[in-house]
Amino acid sequence: MAKKVLTLFILCISILTNAWCQKPIENKAFQVGEDLSYDLYFNWQFIWVKVGNAYMSTKSTRYKNQDAIRTYLITKGNKRADRFFVMRDTLTSISTKNLVPLYFQKSAEEGKRYTVDKVWYDYVDGKTNTNLYFLDRHGNVRRNNHSTKNEVYDMISMLNRARSWDAKDLRPGQKIKFLMAEGKHVEEQTVIYRKKDIVKANDDKKYNCHKLSFVEYDERGKEHEIITFYITDDDNHLPVRLDMNLKFGSAKAYLVSAKNCKHPITSIVK
């Protein structure tokens, strides 16, 4: 459960990218020192139960003798959830100040499983080369390489880059495709822009938001909506709420607090 919820949580907030060109861009949406926190819920026998929290923060760092930014995402189940399923996940992404990904790692303790994903990025002759590493729950290591002329991102660097795009350019029904790297492979993902909406977060505030859907396709090409999510209609592009339709039930994530944002949060409904 935890791995699916975490993956969807991150995919849902990585949806504004609509062009491919692995070039440095101006970071317009967030700054070093930003901290975001979320409450995570699961529908347990028709009752919504809080199962944990998620935290995201951005710091300055150095990587291979250059200034960079390091973004952390930590998810942790509470004591109630631990009785059924232990969830302790830490994701780390390092990018240049201009949002070009350099390194990614996901360490996941989920139930009795412990896995590690790593991605190293290299840029040569106009191509994005990714070196992939995956440590499975049995201690076996799998390595892979992928090379493409298109952009490739991990879960966190995609989010950071996507937040600097303008959702106003999206139209209802528009499909957005992107490549995402994990330790085992690189694969294409699809998100569909729906409309504008007003939603309430767990900080007791209502926000003007953009509504989008992350979808998957079955063998016949039929579309299945996995999640509905909402990002603020302002320059911060903060993820406010996520509604997840999973094989084992439903899950939700609500924004609790957003500190040290780069811009005023003008999407709040007065």
**Average pLDDT score, the chain:** 83
Q: What is the mean pLDDT of residues 47-75?
A: 90
Q: Indicate whether this model's pTM tops 0.95.
A: no
Residue with tokens 């040290």: 260
Q: Residue 2 pLDDT more than 80? A: no
260, HSE (Cβ side, Cα atoms, 13 Å) = 11
Helices and strands counted in the chain (H then E): 3, 14
d(CA 104, CA 260): 24
Q: Which two tokens stand for residue 233?
A: 């209609």
d(CA 93, CA 118): 10
Sign of the Cα pseudo-torsion (11, 15, 18, 23, in order) = negative
Residue 204: predicted pLDDT: 93
d(CA 15, CA 35): 20
Residue 92: predicted pLDDT: 94
d(CA 189, CA 99): 20
pLDDT digits (tens, 9 = 90+) for 65-120: 999 999 998 888 777 766 666 667 888 999 999 999 999 999 887 667 788 999 99
pLDDT band at 19 (very low <50, low <70, confident <90, very high): very low
DSSP states of 205-259 as a string?
-EEEEEEEEEEEE-TT--EEEEEEEEEESSTT--EEEEEEEETTEEEEEEEEEEE
pLDDT digits (tens, 9 = 90+) for 153-195: 888 887 788 788 777 778 898 888 878 887 788 888 788 889 9
